[in-house]
Structure 1
Amino acid sequence: MSTNLQTAPPTTFPPKISAVVRDAAIEFFGTYCGMQPCEQQDEPVVAGGSGIMGVISFFGDPVWTVALILPEATAVTAAKLFAGFDITFDSQDMGDIVGEMSNVMAGDIVARLDAVGLASQMSLPTVARGHDVELLSPSNACATRIKFKSQNGDFWFRLVKALDKLPGVRRSGT
């Protein structure tokens, strides 16, 4: 007797990818910014206020997006540490530097994913700056946050992956 059992799609963000992002963030902020980030697993993200976000999508299996979110004070400090000179929060240079920070980390993420057998390509970075800016997830997505504390301020990542094969959900191009 043959049965056709359908398995439900995973509803949690892939832990292998989360671990790669975590390791790449610690390496980047330690090496390029001289910061000592420490993950805060059970500490809630305190959103609100001015901040800036660098967003990059990854294409492969799976397709997913990562956003680096820096509150204003952390962004100003991290940008100075990365660039070697002061960058004001509301300048075009701040957008450029956060895009470059996101891009450098994304390159490392692609290399680390490849090392664990997950081939992917990355998009160009998109940067958003504002007050109470948040990356919203589609209803058919799973997401996670990775939060860090450092001597130079808090920052976090928001990782989002669309769920596949949900009843009644059609992917673009299908």
Structure 2
Amino acid sequence: MSADHQHFAVTKIRPEHVSELKGLLYRVWYLSYITALGQSLIDQLTSELHTIEKLTAELHNTQKASLGVFQTGKLIGHALTVRQPPETNYIGRLYVDPSYQRIGVGQALLNAAETAFDCRVATLEVFHSSNNAVRFYRRNGYVQIGRHRSAHAVPTELFDLQFSKTL
């Protein structure tokens, strides 16, 4: 760990954090995917995928762990992992506010997501154009196991890369 990395505590997201989580997800999606997806598709997808109801329901699902990192009371990073029996953690989300990237927040969230359930394998998908994320996961021992055209690849060519890691 480099000198500029800090230790960040990862906690479970609570119902009172859901509105803030929705805002974080929108900001990070906008900043990360505006070029690949465009404003209207980001608005459409985030309004469908990140509703208050869906984000709240995740908190009550025993097969999901919604995790966050807070700094001075502000949510700065989030991960969602889903237990897929018999032995896989699917990391469905890992997002860090761009102002807090490269200081250890993502690493803390990834470590917590990988160990949220007693599983032997972790899997995830990432847009092929997310070069920083691809490098991050590879540095953390993830191996690409697949590539497919993203369901969100309209009108552009966008591919999801599938990664796996033995824990």
- Same fold (TM > 0.5): no
- Kindly indicate whether structure 1 or structure 2 has the higher relative contact order, using CA contacts under 8 Å at least 6 residues apart: 1
Give TM-score, length-normalised by structure 1: 0.29
Please state which structure has a larger fraction of its residues in helix: 2
